[in-house]
Structure 1
Amino acid sequence: MWQSDKSGALRGPADWTYPPTLSPADRYDRRRLGWEIAIVLLVSVGQSAIYSVVSFVRAATRAPISQQQTQLNPSRSAEPLWDAIYQFLDIFFSLALVALAVYLLWEPANNALRRIGLDFRRFGGDILRGVLLVVLIGAPGIGVYAIGRSIGQSITVIPAPLDSSWWVIALLVLAALRAGLTEEVIFLGFLFDRLRRLGWSWTGIIVSTALLRGSYHLYQGWPSALGNVVMGLVFGWCYKRWGRVMPLVIAHTIIDIVAFVGYPLAAAWWPAIFAPPAPASTPTPTP
């Protein structure tokens, strides 16, 4: 029987392995968990990772990477009101996938949100840890993108314009929250729990989820993918140590708010690094 301690971290057998001979019920549980992991990934971050890899391969076989563009939060309609409606619906249905992952983690008398640490019991400490991670990960992440652009290996990222409608910034903040919840709850809260139950080691889980996170961002170029692998390793270690996903959601959300809202300002201040060149092609970002 799998249980969690007061920190929310999973606890189980000392060696986290199954006995050599599994009962039919154990074999059934392992098959069910395997299918559960596959289905959740194929409708969420795994699907986006596949699209991202395909987009990168397509971009790499066309014009030079440095001459290509991709867009963050692309417009869904030329009419501002309908664009806002479509953007909001996209965020809503993405959060429904997060809710699905949490629902699958729920067990009788075992609150899934409390178990993975997605609650407000330690919100002050979670904010402090989240801000610390922003400093540790956010600033180097900007540097990785700048280096990638300077060596011609990063696709130019075009942010959503901030002056099209009054609600744009609010939608970008919601999009950043969506990204934080989607990636951290599924990559960490869900996959860590399920892979642990299958007997994976902590090292295997942290490395594999970090690589999946990197492939999820490959459409921006390999430097950004590599930066996200490092981010995944750091976040995975922090989740194992803290047993709480909330500070990681906070950090990810703040990083993306800075990227979504602050990037247009950076493009205006440092056009040589952030402003787009004349496009050769525009790879489609992951859905």
Structure 2
Amino acid sequence: MRPQETTDPAPDEGPPPLPRRALRHEVLLVLAVSLGASAVGALISFSGVLTRPGGLGEQTATLNASRAPDRPWLDLAWQLFGIATDLAPVLLVAHLLLRERAAGGYGGGGLRLLGFDARRPRSDLARGAVVAAGIGGSGLLLYLGAHAAGANLTVVPESLPDVWWKFPVLVASALENAVLEEVVVLGYLLRRLSQLGWTPTGALLASALLRGS
């Protein structure tokens, strides 16, 4: 009597990846609660500046403004609340990428898909410093040129009170902006646009447009 042939069961490949329509909706929702909403707000604010009497060069824009000038502890609470809520989209992106990994995505999980980890801290910090210097330097030169031509607002870096938490809050705010832009725009958005079939050039242009707004 011949023994019955047995076959190994097919490995569980997990659920299929999200269709393009779902990915498009996901991208729009992530942008709606992060830099996309900020870009729309910036355009509305700039429209108000353009319709205000006086030239652009005579008006100011404050990057880190006090929210309760005469009440430093309340001001600190508002500053920390703003930083924490601005980082919420980063946690949302990490959740979505972890879910993608569980569904059979490529590579590791979470923000590691974007190279956002601590496996190579020295080289990452060195390359990040070079990129930041290049982007920051070119942006500063562009601002100085536009301001000299009267085509830009006068940017006031901060108007916080002279208290002990002033510089820690400024550093935390700078880190928050850097993490938000690098994770959501340069990491998540480029990955999703690539999955949607965009060319690298088109994805970079869309990313640059969002960052510039």
Q: Per-residue displacement from partner, 1:8-27 (whole Å, max 9, x unpaired)?
A: xxxxxxxxxxxxxxxxx78x
Q: Which residue of 2 aligns with 1:171?
A: 169
Structure 1, unpaired ranges of 5+? 1-24, 216-287
CA contact (8 A) 1:162 1:169 kept: no
Give matches, 1:51-200, under 5 Å: 51-62=41-52, 63-78=54-69, 79-106=71-98, 107-108=101-102, 110-161=108-159, 164-200=162-198
TM-score, normalization: structure 1?
0.63
TM-score, normalization: structure 2?
0.83
CA contact (8 A) 2:59 2:153 kept: yes
Structure 2, unpaired ranges of 5+? 1-15
- Rounded to whole Å, the distance in 2 between the matches of 1:64 and 1:180 is 31
Q: Residue 200 of structure 1 aligns to a residue in which SS? A: coil
- Rounded to whole Å, the distance in 2 between the matches of 1:82 and 1:144 is 36
Q: Per-residue displacement from partner, 1:242-272 (whole Å, max 9, x unpaired)?
A: xxxxxxxxxxxxxxxxxxxxxxxxxxxxxxx
Q: Residue 61 of structure 2 aligns to a residue in which SS? A: strand
CA contact (8 A) 1:187 1:209 kept: yes
- Residue 54 of structure 1 deviates from its aligned partner by 1.2
Could you tell me which amino acid in structure 1 is paired with residue 56 of structure 2? I
Report the identity percentage: 38
**Equivalent of residue 30 in structure 1, options 20, 25, 49:** 20
- Residue 199 of structure 1 deviates from its aligned partner by 0.9
- Residue 61 of structure 1 deviates from its aligned partner by 2.1
Could you tell me which amino acid in structure 1 is paired with residue 84 of structure 2? F
**Over aligned residue pairs, what C-alpha RMSD do you find?**
1.7
Q: Which residue of 2 aligns with 1:273?
A: none
**Equivalent of residue 44 in structure 1, options 21, 29, 34:** 34
**Larger radius of gyration between Structure 1 and Structure 2:** 2
